[in-house]
Amino acid sequence: MSALTMSCPIPAVARDHVSLGHGSGGKLSAELMREIFLPAFRNETLERLEDQASFSLGTTRVAMTTDSFVVKPLFFRGGDIGSLAVHGTVNDLAMGGALPLYLSTAFIIEEGFPMETLRRIAASLGRAASACGVQVVTGDTKVVDKGSGDGVFINTTGVGVIADGVNLSASGARPGDAVILSGFIGDHGIAILAEREGLEFDSPVESDSAPLHTLVGEMLQTTRAIRCLRDPTRGGVSSSLNEIAGQSRVGIALDEAAIPVREEVRGACEMLGLDPLYVANEGKLLAIVDAAVADELVAAMRRHPLGRDARRIGIVTESDPGWVTLRTLLGTTRIVDMLAGDQLPRIC
Amino acid sequence: MRYIDEYRDPKIAQALVDRIHAQVTKPWVLMEICGGQTHTLMRYGIDELIGEKVELVHGPGCPVCVTPIEIVDKAVEIASRPGVIFVSYGDMLRVPGTRCDLFRVKAEGGDVRIAYSPMEAVKIAQNNPTRQVVFFGIGFETTAPANAMAVWRARELGLTNFSELVSHVLVPPAIRLLLNSPSNRVQGFIAPGHVCTIMGYWEYKALVDEFHVPIVVGGFEPVDLLEAISMLAAQLEEGRAEVENQYARTVSFEGNRAAQRIVEQVFEVADRKWRGIGAIPMSGLRLRPEFAAFDAEKIFDVEAMEAPEPAECISAQVLQGLKKPVDCPAFGTRCSPERPLGAPMVSTEGACAAYYQYRRHAASLVCVQ
pLDDT given for residue A1 in this prediction? 35
Domain ranges of chain B: 5-32+45-59+172-214+222-240, 65-170+255-299, 315-360
Q: Which residues of B109-139 are buried (b: 16+ CB within 10 A; e: fewer)?
A: ebbbbbbbbbbbbbbbbeeeeeebbbbbbbb
State what percent of residues in chain B have pLDDT above 70.
96
Q: Which of B322, B326, B361 shows the shortest CA–CA distance to B59?
A: B322
Q: Which residues of B touch A9 (CB under 8 A)?
A: 69, 96, 98, 275, 307-310, 312, 342-343
Residue B182 forms contact with A (CB below 8 Å):
yes
Same topology, domains B5-32+45-59+172-214+222-240 and B65-170+255-299? Answer is yes
Query: Residue A248 above 50 pLDDT?
Result: yes
Nearest by CB to residue B313, choosing from A2, A10, A328, is A10
User: Dihedral of the CA atoms A300, A301, A305, A307 (nearest 10)?
Assistant: -160
Quick check: A312 and A179 in contact, CB under 8 A?
Answer: yes
Nearest by CB to residue A317, choosing from B4, B42, B368, is B368
Most B CBs within 10 Å, among A1, A2, A4, A200, to test the B interface = A4
Sequence-distant (≥ 6) Cβ neighbours of residue B86 within 8 angstroms: B75, B78, B79, B102, B105, B110, B111, B112, B113, B134, B136
Sequence-distant (≥ 6) Cβ neighbours of residue B166 within 8 angstroms: B137, B138, B147, B267, B285, B286, B287, B295, B296, B297
CB B341 to CB A267 under 8 A?
no
CB B310 to CB A345 under 8 A?
no
Binned at pLDDT 50, 70 and 90, residue A2 comes out as very low
Q: What's the pLDDT tens digit per position in B285-340?
A: 999 999 999 999 999 999 998 887 655 678 777 877 788 888 888 888 888 887 77
Sequence letter at residue A110: E
Nearest by CB to residue A266, choosing from B1, B307, B344, is B1
pLDDT given for residue A344 in this prediction? 67
Domain ranges of chain A: 50-162, 178-335
Query: Residue A346 above 90 pLDDT?
Result: no
Q: Which CATH number fits domain A178-335: 3.90.1170.50, 2.160.20.10, 3.90.650.10, 1.10.10.10?
A: 3.90.650.10
Spacing of C-alpha A36 from chain mean position:
22
Nearest by CB to residue B44, choosing from A325, A328, A348, is A328
CB A319 to CB B368 under 8 A?
yes
What integer is the mean pLDDT of B100-120?
A: 92
pLDDT given for residue B18 in this prediction? 97
CATH number of B5-32+45-59+172-214+222-240: 3.40.50.11750
Say which residue, B362 or B297, is predicted with more confidence.
B297
Which chain A residue is nearest to residue B338, measuring alpha carbons? A340
Query: Residue B353 above 80 pLDDT?
Result: yes
CB B36 to CB A263 under 8 A?
no
Measured CA to CA, the distance from residue A327 to residue A332 in angstroms comes to: 6
Query: Residue A8 above 50 pLDDT?
Result: no
Angle at the Cα of B253 (from B248 to B255), degrees rounded to 5? 90
Lowest model confidence (mean pLDDT) among A49-63, A279-293, B13-27, B353-367: B353-367
Q: What's the pLDDT tens digit per position in A75-111?
A: 999 999 999 999 999 999 999 999 999 999 999 999 9
pLDDT given for residue B360 in this prediction? 73
pLDDT given for residue B330 in this prediction? 87
State what percent of residues in chain B have pLDDT above 90.
69
Q: Which CATH number fits domain B65-170+255-299: 3.40.50.300, 3.40.50.11740, 3.20.20.70, 3.40.50.1010?
A: 3.40.50.11740
What predicted TM-score, i.e. pTM, was given to this entire model? 0.87
Query: Residue A154 above 80 pLDDT?
Result: yes
User: Dihedral of the CA atoms A15, A21, A25, A30 (nearest 10)?
Assistant: -10
pLDDT given for residue B329 in this prediction? 86
Q: ipTM value of the model?
A: 0.81
Q: What's the pLDDT tens digit per position in A326-341?
A: 999 999 999 998 887 7
Query: Residue A348 above 70 pLDDT?
Result: no
Range A50-162: architecture per CATH: 2-Layer Sandwich (3.30)
Residue B333 forms contact with A (CB below 8 Å):
no
The DSSP line for B65-114 is HHS-HHHHHHHHHHHHSTTEEEEE-GGGTT---SS--HHHHHHTT-EEEE
Which chain A residue is nearest to residue B102, measuring alpha carbons? A19
What integer is the mean pLDDT of B118-122?
A: 96
How many inter-chain contacts (A to B, CB under 8 Å) are there?
Answer: 206
Closest-CA distance of chain A to residue B315, Å: 6
- For the beta sheet containing B111-114, the strands, ordered from the edge strand earlier in sequence to the opposite edge, are B111-114, B84-88, B132-139, B162-169, B278-287, B267-274
